[in-house]
Amino acid sequence: MNSSFRQRRLTAAAVTALAVALSATACSSDSGSSDTKSVGNGTYTIWDPYPQFAKSSDWAKLLDQCGAKTGVKIKRTAFDTSDLSSKALLAAQQGNSPDVLIVDNPVVSTLAEAGVLTTTDENKLDTSKVDANLLAAGQSGGKTYGTPIGANTLALYYNKAVLKKAGVDIASVKDWKSLTAALAKVKAAGKKGITFSAIGTEEGSFQFLPWFWGAGAKLTALDSSQAVSALSLWKDWLKNGYAPNSVLNNTQTTSWQEFATGDYAFSENGTWQLANAKKAGFEYGVLPIPGATGGNASAPTGGEFVTVPVQKDTGRYTTSQKLETCLTSGDNLYNTDTTLSYVAPTSEVQDKQVAANAELKPWVDAVKAAKGRTSDDLGTRYPKISEQMWKAVQSALSGSKSPTDALSEAQSAAK
């Protein structure tokens, strides 16, 4: 028995951080069963955030297939993303965690710091093929807790007809200056520029981060000159009528609904809108969000990690590791990520996805440039930083404070 598999103490800081952590990327749906009864050695429990997938779905069938391959039965419980986090923490406190937990990536470091999860070293889980920038979202204190099952992120959808009418060549949009020039042409042509979500929740921070990081700013310095330039960009877009005032209340869903009217040139949104884009009734394209001076900005990664929670019966870890390995094997990642509209976390599967669907190429590029919200060892500090960030965005865009003052106050409050 490995002595490192000890029952870990749940920290108060992690409990508090988890209580305020919010997810931005997953579509909401009804909660699943909260049954946490213990099961026999021949049955292994898996909790996931996909209540939209019924027992007859490909996802549920994959779980059963991995169970059969490992020689056990699977008892699956599906929860809404935000509900799953609190249920996982409660189960850990009660010593009744599932054998495998699939959880939104920003929560991984919080659960890890709370002592809920085992490490990949402890489980001898091979993560060598996973892209480093994606794996970083599940790392804390120099240790890795699980492996991503897929990733999504943000990019710019664009309406080809609107840009053509405005005389904008999408190839010319390479940085903030050329993007803003394109928005000016679109407005002059009688159409609308860009829509996004700047709502006062994690969704607002999620959508602001590509511009924040694209300016070269860091989450540990919300008041830097780079951060101010990013917020000033958004504020100037509203002031000049390139973006609507509705962004202050837009969720990513309502922002998409604005773009779907066909009046807007650009929409900042994610891979989860691909199916809706095909139904929009107009030709569209996808462009990775540009950095301030060019190149692809780092957008935040969405998607889940497959993790192995701490168990009293440490003998269960060997089977749990086999289940995790099965779920994240190359073939299963390809099939699963197609179902979830995710980009795979490994280059070899990404290449396979693009070969099957060329439209995924800009999304693969965006994911390769993406960054975890809790990367840089922010861990449980991220939720507090994010809250101050979205408050600053709201203050600046509403006109109650200048970008400089809003971010200065945010930095003070986040310390």
Q: What is the pLDDT of residue 364?
A: 95
* Lowest model confidence (mean pLDDT) among 16-20, 150-154, 390-394: 16-20
Q: What is the pLDDT of residue 41?
A: 67
Task: Name the amino acid, one letter, at 76.
Answer: R
Query: What is the percent of the chain where pLDDT is above 90?
Result: 82
Q: Which residues contact 288 (CB under 8 A, 6 or more apart)?
A: 155, 156, 296, 297, 299, 362, 365, 366, 369
Total-model pTM: 0.83
* Lowest model confidence (mean pLDDT) among 120-134, 231-245, 332-346: 332-346
Q: What is the pLDDT of residue 80?
A: 87
129/296 Cα distance (integer angstroms):
23
Residue 6 pLDDT exceeds 60: no
What is the pLDDT of the chain when averaged over all its residues? 90
- Is the CATH code 3.40.50.300 the one for domain 12-152+301-369? no
Residues 279-289: pLDDT tens digits? 999 999 999 99
Domain formed by 154-299+378-414, architecture:
3-Layer(aba) Sandwich (3.40)
The mean pLDDT of 304-326, rounded to a whole number, is 96
The mean pLDDT of 340-345, rounded to a whole number, is 90
The three-point CA angle 328-333-339 to 5° equals 130
Residues 188-242: pLDDT tens digits? 999 999 999 999 999 999 999 999 999 999 999 999 999 999 999 999 999 999 9
Assess whether the region 12-152+301-369 and the region 154-299+378-414 belong to the same CATH fold: yes
The mean pLDDT of 363-390, rounded to a whole number, is 91
Residue 20 pLDDT exceeds 90: no
Contact 157, 274 (CB under 8 A): no
Residue 71 pLDDT exceeds 90: yes
The mean pLDDT of 289-305, rounded to a whole number, is 95
Segment holding 17, helix H or strand E: helix 12-20
What's the token pair of residue 310? Answer: 């701490």
**DSSP letters of 256-306?**
HHHHTTT-EEEEEEEGGGHHHHHTSSS-EEEEPPBPTTSSBPPPBPB-EEE
Domain ranges, ordered by start, for the chain: 12-152+301-369, 154-299+378-414
pLDDT category of residue 67 using cuts at 50, 70 and 90: very high
Of 135, 162, 161, nearest to 146 by C-alpha is 135
